[in-house]
Structure 1
Amino acid sequence: MAKRSAQYFSCIFTVYCFLWYCDANAIKSTTDWPPRHTATQFDQDSYGNTMYKQGCAHDIDVVNQLVDFDKSGYNKHKLPKPDGMKVRVDTWIQAITSISESTQDFEVDLYINEMWEDPRLRFDHLNPCKPNMSLDNSLLEKLWTPNTCFINSKEAFIHQSPFTNIFLMIYNNGSVWTNYRVKLTGPCQMELQRFPMDVQKCSLTFESFNYNIAEVHMVWADANPISILGATELPDFTLVNVLASSEETQYPAGYWDELTITFIFKRRYGWYIFQGYIPTYLIIIISWISFHLGTVALPARTMLGVNALIAMTFQFGNIISHLPRVSYIKAIDIWMLSGMTFIFASLLELAVVGHLSHLKTKKQQTKRDTPSHRSSPIFWNRKYDPNSKMAHPLPLVNDQWHDQTVLGGSLRDVTDLSYSFQELQLKQTLPLWHKFIPVKQDWDPERIDKMSAIFFPVIFFLFNLLYWGYYIGCSRSTDITKPTQQTVCL
């Protein structure tokens, strides 16, 4: 019984080992790579997967036959077509990293795609394994290229992360596709008349550096020449549009095709609202508090107005320190200078009120120092004569002089003479400019403060309507569909 069990177990183990061996050979046969240079002819199944056939030429064999001068006579210095080349260009915008007003430039990362047809690079007759070949950028140095560049860039370089970011593809019909991932610093001639509610248009110009229009004709791709790969968020600007345009530019050596990319940015002025405009509102409103302090607090009112003017000046300098030194007036300049004018006007009002208050106090003091009208000035130099008819006391009625004196004159006329004399003394103390600029003596300082407390806010409100209506309207009316700068407002 034990012997039969051992034979049964041995038979089972032998069958298991045989099955394991067969399965291992099957797995090994599926992982064997096809022999080198004997891949397959390109084809695709119903799912789009590449199907291979034996006997096709590998990429490196095709390239060696195409660019080897001894075998094919390829010369990269010779135009592929004697009647001229047509190069199609399109751009992928990857990111816009910064815009600077002080240096007037911007930085952008983008992909430049160029396509042209080189009949000498056709390889469909060489039985290739694929309809196109993705090749290393070192091969590009052996091919003819249009030698394009951004002629107005301040700085440009191809990304090296971790290798040179150049893509090269050659199709079996001789079409060549190159792709460069480039970081650019381009100029941006800013017009800041409407700052910070401005719209800026910055551009990059792309052309062939070596070939004029008779040799290389550069055009934008027919469909979507400019694409934005991702969101381009900037702290100060919003990218509202990207335009593509082309023109022929004349040089001493002929005409060149220039392809221009225009970036249209609209400034985000929220930061300037919170850091510039709202503090200015508060400073101007604080300067109006002096109108309600009265004429007895002139030192406090003076300190309040001077501090408001200093704060406004500091705020203005803090904003314009980050801007280029342009010679024209900006919107922020008009706002700040107008705010300083309102504060300065409140100081002038304080000076007028202080002067009139001083005159009023002096006038009251003069009245207190002047003798009563009972001792009229016409009697000040009259000596007392006991034999005179005026020796008798004049009768009083209700503490007032009788209308008639013993001399027969009117006592009311005497009182009028007394007041005329006081006014003459007051006029002699007035400044010289009062003779040329008449000032009403009945202008009360408190009345001027009350009028200023009404007129200053009303005038400031009207100024706000004009200011914001003008500049916001100009910002909305700017044409963002044209590559050239259209200035409709100053």
Structure 2
Amino acid sequence: MRLILVLLALAALGWTADDCVQDAEILSQLQKAAGNLLEQPRPSGQEIDDVLEISIGFSANSFNIVPHTSTVEIDGIVTRQWKHPSLYFSHLNPCRNVLSISHWRKQLWTPQLSFANSVAITVHHHSVVIRLKDDGTIIHTERVKQSIPCKTHANEYPFGNTTCTLVWRNDDLTRNNAKVKWIENSGDLQNAHEAGDLLLRGVNLTQTEAYLQNGVVDELKLNYEFTRGHHKILLLFFIPSIIFMFIPWLSLCLGPMAITRSILLIGSLILLMIHYSTNLAGLPQTNGVTAIDIWKLFSFFYVVGIMCELIIVTLMASLGRSRRCKRGKRKGGYSMEPLYEEMNDLRDRKTRRTCGCCRISALILDFAALWISAIVFLLFCFVYYSQSAKLVKWSNDFDIDTLRII
């Protein structure tokens, strides 16, 4: 038994004698052989016209929408990959295929990215991680927090898309020196699927050219498409505004209570204004007329239209009054007030009669306004739901000069 243990120990010693090379020794050899690592690496074994390829990737961790500036704050990890032929170590029999060289950060050439459209940017240098693969590929990752502009499509607002674009360029290296491209499957999300009230709909990667003074450079664009949750805007915006418009419509049933109806109409108008000012604060700003603006205008005109109807029927009742007054015939009896005046008449109060024709006409007008306003509201809701994009487009394309008012 002891003999077997001795043989196993000798076999283990023989195995370790021919074992892989440790990381520290490989890094020491590479640092001596590579020379100055601050210089841009040149492709090895390729034609003279070939340029260095740099791959860029980005993984978003979180989004934070800023409505009043129409920007979104993105916190994520930026990845840069490029090959350094002098750091190839696969032939050295390494123990690991990937080594950590984060301590070389100040001694290693790193491609610099220009965040072309960032409003504000914060780079967390303490989060820099640099890894080296056995084929000489360097993987540089760092955490970046930046604010990028967003654009909301007015024709489909608020149910349409809000696009936030991140633009990167390599201003120092033209296409004659380096080629910048996206890493496959870039734009991955790490549990970041919403920005405030906006839900992430998709990610789109594009690569274009930018013409600068020093030459042509590669420009990378990362587009995030957001959409607003339909349930929230329906419950918090449209349903309350419909309730505030239902109150003026219901006031048409009050008939002669002119003062009460006026209070209800003015109160509904004030409630609508407060509701719109408080609930639109969380929506991104847009240029031009939007579907929300059309809804707001209709609600205001709807309430004002019912108010105008009240003025008309009150005027009809006032014009139809006779100059003769009627006293109560018995004590405790109430005299008949003219139609569409407040029914708080006092005993023995002198009043004026309203002619029957005007009274009936006012009743018919109230009845007609009740149903016409309901039909107009339902018809507008149908057109608004089915043709809102066309309404917005017509509103934005409308030229007031065509009216030739002046």
Shorter-chain TM-score range:
0.7 to 0.9
Contact 1:105 1:188 in 2 (8 A): yes
Assess, with a 3 A threshold, how the Cα gap between structure 1 residues 60 and 211 changes in structure 2: closer, same or farther. same
| Residue 359 of structure 1 pairs with residue 276 of structure 2 | no
Assess, with a 3 A threshold, how the Cα gap between structure 1 residues 169 and 326 changes in structure 2: closer, same or farther. closer
Q: CA deviation at 1:366?
A: 6.0
Normalised by the length of structure 1, the TM-score is: 0.65
Secondary structure in structure 2 of the residue aligned to 1:178: strand
| Residue 124 of structure 1 pairs with residue 90 of structure 2 | yes
Contact 1:105 1:186 in 2 (8 A): yes
Match of 1:236 in 2: 197
Assess, with a 3 A threshold, how the Cα gap between structure 1 residues 330 and 474 changes in structure 2: closer, same or farther. closer
Matches within 5 A, 1:17-36: none
Match of 1:58 in 2: 22
Q: Partners of 2:144 and 2:220 in 1: how far apart? A: 16
Match of 1:267 in 2: 228
Q: CA deviation at 1:120?
A: 1.3
Q: CA deviation at 1:335?
A: 0.9
Q: Partners of 1:275 and 1:57 in 2: how far apart? A: 65
Normalised by the length of structure 2, the TM-score is: 0.77
| Residue 188 of structure 1 pairs with residue 150 of structure 2 | yes
Q: 2:74 aligns with which of 93, 108, 125?
A: 108
Q: Partners of 2:219 and 2:104 in 1: how far apart? A: 27
Q: Deviations over 1:52-90 (max 9, x none)?
A: 65364332222233234xx54334224323642011233
Contact 1:153 1:186 in 2 (8 A): yes
Matches within 5 A, 1:119-198: 119-125=85-91, 127-159=92-124, 164-192=126-154, 194-198=156-160
Q: Partners of 1:343 and 1:120 in 2: how far apart? A: 77
CA RMSD, 1 decimal: 3.3
| Residue 204 of structure 1 pairs with residue 166 of structure 2 | yes
Assess, with a 3 A threshold, how the Cα gap between structure 1 residues 148 and 325 changes in structure 2: closer, same or farther. closer
Match of 1:336 in 2: 296
Q: CA deviation at 1:181?
A: 3.1
Higher relative contact order (CA 8 A, sep 6+): 2
Normalized per residue, the structure richer in strand is 2
Q: 1:316 aligns with which of 255, 263, 276?
A: 276
Q: CA deviation at 1:459?
A: 0.6
Kindly tell me the number of residue pairs found equivalent between the two proteins.
355
Q: Partners of 1:192 and 1:274 in 2: how far apart? A: 21
Q: CA deviation at 1:291?
A: 1.6
Q: Partners of 1:467 and 1:181 in 2: how far apart? A: 45
Assess, with a 3 A threshold, how the Cα gap between structure 1 residues 72 and 324 changes in structure 2: closer, same or farther. closer
Q: Partners of 2:394 and 2:361 in 1: how far apart? A: 48
Contact 1:236 1:269 in 2 (8 A): no
Q: Partners of 2:37 and 2:140 in 1: how far apart? A: 19
Q: Partners of 2:135 and 2:267 in 1: how far apart? A: 78
Match of 1:227 in 2: 188
Q: CA deviation at 1:105?
A: 1.3
Secondary structure in structure 2 of the residue aligned to 1:130: coil
Q: Partners of 1:463 and 1:240 in 2: how far apart? A: 29
Match of 1:427 in 2: none
Assess, with a 3 A threshold, how the Cα gap between structure 1 residues 277 and 53 changes in structure 2: closer, same or farther. farther
Contact 1:244 1:261 in 2 (8 A): yes
Which sections of structure 1, spanning at least 5 residues, go unmatched?
Answer: 1-21, 41-51, 369-439, 476-486
| Residue 307 of structure 1 pairs with residue 267 of structure 2 | yes
Which sections of structure 2, spanning at least 5 residues, go unmatched?
Answer: 327-356, 397-406
Contact 2:153 2:286 in 1 (8 A): no
Q: Partners of 2:65 and 2:223 in 1: how far apart? A: 14
Q: Partners of 1:53 and 1:285 in 2: how far apart? A: 89
Q: Which moved more, 1:265-274 or 1:129-138?
A: 129-138
| % identical equivalent positions | 21
Q: Deviations over 1:459-482 (max 9, x none)?
A: 11101011111238999xxxxxxx
Q: Partners of 2:76 and 2:282 in 1: how far apart? A: 28
Q: CA deviation at 1:138?
A: 2.6
Q: Which moved more, 1:95-104 or 1:225-234?
A: 225-234
